[in-house]
Amino acid sequence: MAARARPVADHPLADRYREVRALSRAIAAPLSDADATIQPMPDASPAKWHLAHSSWFFETFILRDHVPGYQACDDRFAFLFNSYYNAEGERQPRDRRGMLSRPTLREILDYRAWVDAAVAEAIPSLSAAVRDRIELGLNHEQQHQELMLMDMLATFAENPLAPALWEPAPAPPAPPASRPAWVEGETGLVEIGHDRSAFGFDCEAPRHRALLHPHALADRLVVNGEWLGFIDDGGYRQPELWLADGWAWAVDNRVEAPLYWRPRDGGWNRFGLDGLAPLDPDEPVCHISFYEADAYARWAGARLSTEAEWEAAASSLDPAGGNQLDAAGPVRPRPAPGGPGPRQMFGDVWEWTASAFLPYPGFRPETGALGEYNGKFMANQFVLRGGSCATPRGHVRASYRNFFYPHQRWQFAGLRLAKDL
C-alpha cells in the first residue's frame, strides 16, 4: 500500500492537520510492531489501533461523506477500526483489538499517509462546516494521543524487564512541596461551560449558571509524600473512609497503592514511560481512581471539588500553561512551581472532581453518528478537569470535561483538595 502523490494544500487548517498528525507518528516512533500490537487490558487499545482509528475517523466522516469520488484505502478497515459508532455498523470487539497482528504497523502508517494526502488535497474545496468537522477530528486525534501514551505505559508495565520507552529527562528545579495553602473560591452565581465562540466538544455546552457555596481549593495538587502518609496510616484498610463500591473494588482487587507504584527495600519505586525510578515525594500523585481520591480527601478532612468550583477557579488562567505534552519524549508529572496559587490547574495530572458526567441544562448532542461521541457516555462516570503531562498543549481549556469510570486509574489522574467554608 503506497500513498498517492498529491499536492499539499497551502491552507492554515492543512498546517494544523499536518502538525497534529505528525505528533501521533512521533509518539509511536520508538515502538516495534510487537510493541504496537499488544493490548494489555480490555480498557486499553494497541498503539497501531489508535493510529488507524484516528485515520478511519477522517476517512469516514470527511473523505467518504464529503469528497465525491473518494476511493477508500481498504474497505475492510471500516470493520477493524470503528470504535463505538453503532450507526457505522459492526466492528472488531474492543477487547480483541490486540488480536490484529495484521495489518502491520508499517501498513497502518501507509494508511495514514493515504488519508493524509487525500485530506490535504480536499481542504481548500471543503465548506466551512466540513472544515469544522476536521477540527473536531484533530481534537479527537489529540485525545487519542494521550490515550496512546496511557496504553503504551500499561503495555510496558506488563513486562517484568520494566523497559523505558524514553530515557529519563532531568526535572526542572522546583522547591520542595510545602504544606498546601487554601485559596478561597468564588461564591454565588457563576457562569460555566463553553460559549461556542471557538472549538469545544458538545458536552462542554451550553454555557449556563451554577450556584457556588463558600469554599476553598488547595493551591496545589496532592503529592506522593502526602499519599505515603495515607498509606502508612492504613488508609487502604479503613472502610469508613471509602464509598461502599470503592471499598468493594479495593478489597476485590487488593489495591494497596496507586497504579504503577512498586515496593522496594521498604520504600517505593514508580514505573513510568521513562522506566522504573525511586518515588519522588514532591511529584503529584498519579494513576489513582476516583474511589482512592475520594477516600484520601475524606482521610485528609477535606473533599473533592465540584467541576463548577474548579472551572470558576481556572477560568482566568492560561490553559496552555503548566506541564503538558509538547512533543514525543519523557512524560511524567512534575513538582509544583513556586508562586501564588492556585498552581497546576492545567497539566501534570487530571483532577478528579465530585461531579458526575451529566448533560448541562439544554445540552444537545451532535447530529448523526457523531452524536455518539459524548452524550451516550453520560452515565456512571465522573468528571476530571485540567489536563495532564500527556495532554497535547493547546488541547484543553477551562470548560473541558474529561470523564472516566470511578474504578479506572490507568489515566494520568490525581487530585486537588477542596473544603467548605
CA-CA distance, 355 to 418, in Å (whole number)?
13
CA-CA distance, 352 to 349, in Å (whole number)?
9
Residue 3 is predicted with a pLDDT of: 42
For range 299-309, the mean pLDDT? 98
Residue 330 confidence class, pLDDT cut points 50, 70, 90 = confident
For range 124-145, the mean pLDDT? 96
Domain ranges of the chain: 12-157, 182-420
Residue 341 confidence class, pLDDT cut points 50, 70, 90 = confident
pLDDT over 70 at 10, yes or no = no
> What is 12-157's CATH number?
1.20.120
- Provide the CATH topology of domain 182-420: paralog of FGE (formylglycine-generating enzyme) (3.90.1580)
CA-CA distance, 64 to 62, in Å (whole number)?
6
Residue 371 is predicted with a pLDDT of: 73
| Cell 477535606 sits on residue | 302
**pLDDT tens digits, one per residue of 135-161:** 999 999 999 999 999 999 999 999 999
Residue 87 confidence class, pLDDT cut points 50, 70, 90 = confident
**pLDDT tens digits, one per residue of 47-58:** 999 999 999 999
For range 15-36, the mean pLDDT? 97
| Cell 451516550 sits on residue | 376
Mean pLDDT of the chain: 93
CA-CA distance, 378 to 310, in Å (whole number)?
20
Q: Do domains 12-157 and 182-420 have the same CATH topology?
A: no
Coil/strand/helix, residue 278: strand
Residue 369 is predicted with a pLDDT of: 72
Residue 374 is predicted with a pLDDT of: 74
The number of residues in the chain equals 421
pLDDT over 60 at 388, yes or no = yes
pLDDT over 60 at 296, yes or no = yes
Contact status, residue 4 vs residue 114, Cβ threshold 8 Å: yes
Cell of 399: 470548560
Residue 115 confidence class, pLDDT cut points 50, 70, 90 = very high
pLDDT over 90 at 107, yes or no = yes
How much is the pTM?
0.94
Percent of the chain whose pLDDT exceeds 70: 97
For range 29-41, the mean pLDDT? 97
CA-CA distance, 284 to 269, in Å (whole number)?
14
